[in-house]
A = this chain, B = another copy of it.
Amino acid sequence: MANSNLKLLGCWFSPFALRVKIALSIKSLVYEDIEETLNAKSQLLLQSNPVHKKIPVLLHGDKPICESTIIIEYIDEVWNSGPSILPSDAHDRAMARFWAAYIDDKCMLAMVKSVRVEDAEKRKPYLEEIEDSLVTIEGELQKCCREGKGYFGGEQIGLVDITFGSLLGMMGIIETMNGRKMIVEEKHPCLVKWADRFASDPNMKGLIPEHEKLISLMRLGKE
């Protein structure tokens, strides 16, 4: 399923670009990985996403597709002979979209806000929001586990796994910033196992940014 007609405008530390890379990996699609420098945005990025001027953008031939979840759905629909990323049943698909949106609207937003706040005291409400959402996500994953599924999506990585899994790098940063683990065995037994399974999944090979590199980048950004 090689396809040299695919270009990804991304960035090595972006969880949103990572989501697209995971989807492309699941479908065994070959693509040109174009690393954007965020300070001086390329002409190609500005042309391809004139509304938001943001990565990730997938270029399929000359057609740009923007926004990570929309790109994932596009990949799943166009290369539908590969392993499915969204479930085939309409209700299961609606539920996958629901949980992907939940992870972005609740967990991810609080994570982004917490990383931006220097003052540890002011960070607390965001950390509480993250913790609340982790309890909800653990609850959903426990249902999947009771049904014998290893992933939110079933036996293999699906939309919800990609959405949450792409945030594990940022979660690591938050853990380092605050000197404590966020996803812990006592509160989130299923998520702990899931995170290990996700990180060692063959589809993730070479895709997860190194923790030390992320930490260095964050320190650089704050200097």
Distance (Å) between the CB of A109 and the closest chain B CB?
12
Asked whether A63 lies within 8 Å of B91 as measured between CB atoms, the reply is: yes
Mask for A84-127, Cβ within 8 A of B = 1, else 0? 00000011011001100110000000000000000000000000
Please tell me if the beta carbons of A90 and B77 are within 8 angstroms of each other in the complex. Answer: yes
Q: Do A67 and B101 touch across chains, with their CB atoms under 8 A apart? A: yes
Minimal Cβ-Cβ distance residue in B for A78: B90
Tell me the A180-203 residues at the B interface (CB within 8 Å).
Answer: none
Task: Give Cα A71–Cα B93 distance, bound, in whole angstroms.
Answer: 11
Residues of A within 8 A of B (CB): 51, 60, 63, 65-67, 70-71, 73-74, 77-78, 90-91, 93-94, 97-98, 101-102, 136
Question: B residues within 8 A CB of A73?
Answer: 93-94, 97
Are A91 and B65 closer than 8 Å at their CB atoms? yes
Looking at the complex, which one of B70, B93, B94, B101 makes contact with A94 (CB distance below 8 Å)?
A: B70
12 A-B residue pairs with Cβ-Cβ distance under 8 Å, sorted by A, are: A60-B91, A65-B91, A65-B98, A67-B97, A67-B98, A70-B94, A70-B97, A70-B101, A71-B94, A73-B93, A73-B97, A77-B90
User: Given the complex of chains A and B, what is the CA–CA distance between A27 and B74 in angstroms?
Assistant: 24
Nearest CB of B to A47, in Å: 15
List of 5 A-B pairs having minimum Cβ-Cβ separation, nearest first: A74-B94, A77-B90, A70-B97, A65-B94, A78-B90
- Known pairs A51-B102, A66-B98; list 6 more (Cβ under 8 Å): A51-B98, A51-B136, A60-B91, A73-B93, A73-B94, A77-B90
Most buried by B among A60, A91, A136: A91
**Out of B66, B78, B90, which one reaches A74, CB within 8 Å?**
B90
Cβ–Cβ < 8 Å partners of A67 in chain B? 97-98, 101
Residue of chain B at shortest CB distance from A74: B94
Query: Within the assembled complex, what's the spacing in Å between the Cα atoms of A16 and B66?
Result: 24
- Complex-state Cα separation, A60 to B95, whole angstroms: 13
Query: Which chain B residues lie closer than 8 Å to A71 at the CB level?
Result: 94
Q: Give the shortest distance, in Å, between A84 (CB) and chain B (any CB).
A: 14
